[in-house]
Amino acid sequence: MNVNSLYEKPVLFALAAVVVISVGTLVTTFIPLFLPSTQPVSPLFTPYTAVETEGRDIYIREGCNNCHTQTVRPLRAEVARYGDYSRAEESAWDRPFLWGSRRTGPDLARVGGKYPDAWHYRHMANPQAMFGKSNMPAYAWLAKAKLDTSLTARKVKVLGFGYDEAEVARQLAAFRRTVTAPTWPSAQERSRVTPAALRGELTELDALVAYLQKLGRDLMAAQRAAAGPGTAEAAEKKNPYAGNRTAGEEGEKIFEENCKVCHGEKGAGGFGPKLATTKHKFGGTDADLFTTVSGGRPGGMPSFLQPLGKDRIWKVITYIRRLESESR
Amino acid sequence: MANESEKMYTGDNIVQREMRMTNGTRNDSIVRGFALSSVFWLLIGLVIGLWLAAEMVYPSLNLAPWLAFGRLRVVHTNGLVYGFTLAGIFACSFYMLEKLTRTPLAFPGLAKAQLWLFNIAIALAALSLFAGMNTSKEYAELEWPLDIVVVVLWVMFAVNVMGTLVKRREKQMYVSLWFLVACVVTVAVVYILNNLAIPVSLTKSYSVYAGVNDANVQWWFGHNAVASVFTFPILAMFYYFLPKSTGLPIYSHRLSIIAFWSLVFGYLWTGAHHLMLTPVPEWIQTVALAFSLFLIAPSWASVVNGFYTMNGNWDKMKSNYLVKFFILGITFYGLQTIQGPTQAIRALSAHLHYTEYIPGHVHMGTMGWVTMIITASMYFMMAKISGREVHSVKLANIHFWLILVGQLLFTVTLWIAGIVQGAMWKAVNPDGSLKYTFLDSVAAMYPFWTVRLVGGLLYFAGIAVFAYNLYMTSRPKPGTKWSAAAAARSQAA
Ligand code: HEM
Ligand code: HEM
């Protein structure tokens, strides 16, 4: 057969084209679908709750993935900025995946538990009020929309999360009781952004915040458990800059860039506790303060060891000491 | 090289024979309909692009939920990929099909129905994306009912392409037709497989793939959507309209054969270059990297073919207003296919992935290569259809310079921005702590974003000139069959 005749037989030509595109498809895409090593599964990573599932769907609806990624790459600076790199197992329940392709905003794969809920309510309602230079849209209207849960049970079933309709109803009711209780730690900020009529209901923002708080949590919990109590790195004992004026001034700048959003102007308090005081929630010795700032604390104090480094943490502590003395 | 058999399949004689045919095609109104639809969606998509670019500088422009950046970006990309580019492909394909087969379309009624269904589908797509009904998978955001409509549209198109090819009177299929067939089969395969989902309601579904597999399938699709929408059919136009508008045959047909098969083979291996350093298995990433570098060769075969076609006739760059569109277009294609493969290299991906550099890459391809070729092809085609010369060569030249300068300002700015941004993300102090907060890197981008907005405005002005010029060219000339048909219609009314 003359090779040229391929260019005279359109149907044969189309079939040849299908064969040619199939080779790469089979090797790089189709076969991996059937290899368990492509998407390994681990019991350490749990499916989303009913509320988190709804929150994830709002994240998808609003296209948050167009500006935020959810994959920390195994690069030194990236791990320092966001936290440990992403594992394949973490995505096992994700349909669709939400890794993203642009980082107009920061990565979110490790944001769960990093800040208190109140931080998210305030931030989502008006990002520029917290960070003047941010270009994130304000999503205040999410707090003004009642969460539609009519499809939740169906969604959970399609996604194969392994709990039934009754469990969905129970989770939704329990979550509603939690966030609408006046004693809930983030109640004040939630009420501020939520219209009175919806304060007793679940809003879209409630669900979105719940979803954000789930991101990366399973991995961090697993790592804490593996490390066991008492093996956390031995804290530094003494501030090398104690009483150093210039270090305190540098510390002030670092404080304004990193701490002020939560601890307020001059440490007057906000989402985070007041720092212009001699009574600190997690202890007031140099070692205590260093442990708190470097390692973070449950309830929304992020860890600053990686992004700031020891030196700058001591400088911030020097500044906190100045605030203490000014508060006396 | 120019022996008889080579000549036979250079398509040279095909283009010659076809030249003797009368102006226009049997189905001018369908071609014209798709061309004008394409321009309409182009203008809409660009206005949205400008709004997006402005939102990055002035976030207060996120005025309403449907105008918020996250939703609007999807309308921009889908509007331009599916509205503008696909309609442009349909217009040029139907035209080239009739010309290169010397046969009228096999099913003109079907093509007419496709035109209507297409515009309805794009309008519904835009509305649904504004409303936030989307799957989140890039370029595959449409929810499942619209996916079905897209598949129906594609089948309608494929039936006409294959039907006309089977009925053709010209023995050999010219290279443009091969690329057209490759586009038809590749889009069908990648679109359907990536969009497989389980519905929970009319407006919501979940991908059948989970996590890493979903990512891998998505970017296998994503890269080949680029291949089969922004590459194969645009090359088809290039290989047809460059010789047509210059009277010069393509330099080497043997080169186009090699280029064709290796391009079509290579593209499907490279999806994971969008996923470098993510949890996707490392071997898939490495294979994607290797094939990305390999793609430079077949891509440049077309570039070389284009340049050598002009050999000895470079004065046509000046004397023929269309040539500079095609030559600049293929040049940007050449730069694009060098830049793309370098982005796949792990060390460079580590620096550039997720940064402004990537929209820089994207827009050199779309604003430089794709729109240069499509708009020039449309001038040529529309003049033939309406049996007149282009309305104004002067306006076409203004259009050319505005989109060229606008595009360069846009893309070069973003490349620099991306390199700066990547460097700020990476910068560490001697003790390993970070030099800049994320917000520092955002603050550093504002000047770049402002320049990008200016570049976008210049480009938009160029496209507005084009739209006017094309519309004026498309008006029927008295005494042609098209104007007779128009007159008959207005008499009937
Ligand atoms: C006036 C001209 C244009 C402006 C101002 C504009 C603006 C934008 C903006 C602001 C983005 C978002 C970038 C980001 O997230 O950082 C974007 C993305 C995009 N645009 Fe455009 N655009 C224009 C022309 C075009 C054209 C002509 C096409 C296609 C034919 C196109 C296709 C795309 C695509 C595919 C993306 C997604 C890129 C990615 O995922 O990296 N744009 N555009
Ligand atoms: C040999 C050819 C090409 C190769 C190997 C290539 C490679 C790449 C790579 C590696 C990326 C991902 C960058 C990242 O996210 O880090 C990318 C993105 C992209 N390229 Fe290319 N490119 C090629 C040609 C083209 C052409 C001709 C176009 C036409 C417009 C194009 C349009 C795009 C688009 C739209 C994206 C953005 C995808 C997204 O993230 O949404 N590329 N390319």
Instruction: Look at residue B132 in the predicted model and tell me its pLDDT.
Output: 97
Look at A21 and B185 and tell me if their CB atoms are within 8 Å.
Answer: yes
Report how far ligand 2's centroid is from the alpha carbon of B358 (Å): 8
Q: Do the domain assignments include residue A233?
A: no
Quick one: A67 and A171 in the same domain?
Answer: yes
Q: Which domain holds residue A257?
A: 245-327
Give residue B14's pLDDT band: very low, low, confident or very high (50, 70, 90).
low
In a domain, A43, yes or no: no
Q: Are residues A199 and A299 in the same domain?
A: no
**Does residue A273 sit within a domain?**
yes
Residue A221 has a pLDDT of 86
> Which residues does chain B have within 8 Å of residue A26's beta carbon, measured at their own beta carbons?
none
A173 and A57 inside one domain? yes
CA atoms of B259 and B255, how far apart (whole Å): 6
Residues A84 and A195 in one domain: yes
The mean pLDDT value for B332-358 works out to 98
> Which of the four pLDDT bands, split at 50, 70 and 90, describes residue B386?
confident
Q: Which residues of chain A have pLDDT under 50?
A: 1, 230-232
Ligand 1 atom at minimal distance to the Cα of residue B56: 10
The predicted pLDDT at position B419 comes to 98
Quick one: A83 and A213 in the same domain?
A: yes
Say what the pLDDT of residue A205 is: 98
Model confidence band, residue B306 (pLDDT cutoffs 50, 70, 90):
very high
The pLDDT of residue B43 is above 60: yes
Per the CB < 8 Å rule, is B265 touching A96?
Answer: no
Q: What is the pLDDT of residue B388?
A: 86
DSSP state of A235: P
- Number of compact structural domains in chain A: 3
**β pairing state of B197-201 and B204-207:** antiparallel
Neighbours of B484 (CB within 10 A): 12
* A66 and A143 together in one domain: yes
In this prediction the pTM is 0.92
CA angle, residues B198, B201, B203, in degrees to nearest 5: 95
Q: Are residue A249 and residue A217 in the same domain, yes or no?
A: no
CA of A140 to the centre of ligand 1 (A): 27
Give the residue, by CA position, lying nearest to ligand 2 atom 21.
B340
Asked, for residue A70, whether it belongs to a domain, the answer is: yes
Residue A272: CATH number of its domain: 1.10.760.10
Residues A67 and A168 in one domain: yes
Three-state DSSP state, A154: helix
Q: Is residue A42 part of a domain?
A: no
Is the model's pLDDT at B220 over the cut of 50? yes
Residues A78, A179 within the same domain: yes
Check whether residue A92 and residue A19 sit in a common domain: no
pLDDT tier, B20 (very low <50, low <70, confident <90, very high otherwise): very low
Residues in contact with A7: Cβ distance below 8 Å, sequence separation at least 6, in sequence order: A13, B9, B172, B173, B178
Q: Which helix (H) or strand (E) holds A42?
A: none
A237 in a structural domain: no
User: Is the same domain home to A134 and A27?
Assistant: no
Please give the pLDDT value at position A1.
Answer: 47
In angstroms, the separation between the Cα of residue A230 and the nearest Cα of chain B is 25
The predicted pLDDT at position A5 comes to 80
The larger pLDDT score, comparing residue B388 to residue B68, is at: B68
Chain A nearest-CA distance from B477, in A, is 36
B469 pocket-lining for ligand 2 (C-beta < 6 Å): no
For the stretch B233-262, pLDDT in tens is 999 999 999 999 999 999 998 899 989 999
How far does A328 lie from chain B, in Å, by closest CA?
33
Mean of all residue pLDDT scores within chain B:
92
Give the number of C-alpha atoms closer than 13 A to the C-alpha of residue B46, restricted to the C-beta side. 27
Confidence band for B491, pLDDT divided at 50, 70 and 90: low
The predicted pLDDT at position A231 comes to 42
Closest CA to B382 of B469, B298, B310: B469
Quote the ligand 1 centre to B219 CA distance (angstroms). Answer: 18
What burial letters (b/e) apply to B405-443, b meaning 16+ CB within 10 Å?
ebbbbbbebbbebbbbbbebbbebeeeebbebbbeebbb
* Percent of chain B whose pLDDT exceeds 90: 87
Q: How much of chain B, in percent, has pLDDT values that exceed 70?
A: 91
Cβ-Cβ contacts under 8 Å, A62 against chain B: 65, 68, 70-71, 132
Q: Is the peptide bond before A185 cis (omega within 30 degrees of 0)?
A: no
- The residues spanned by each domain of chain B are 23-478
Q: What is the pLDDT of residue B279?
A: 97
Q: Are residues A21 and A131 in the same domain?
A: no
Residue B5, pLDDT score: 35
CATH number of B23-478: 1.20.210.10
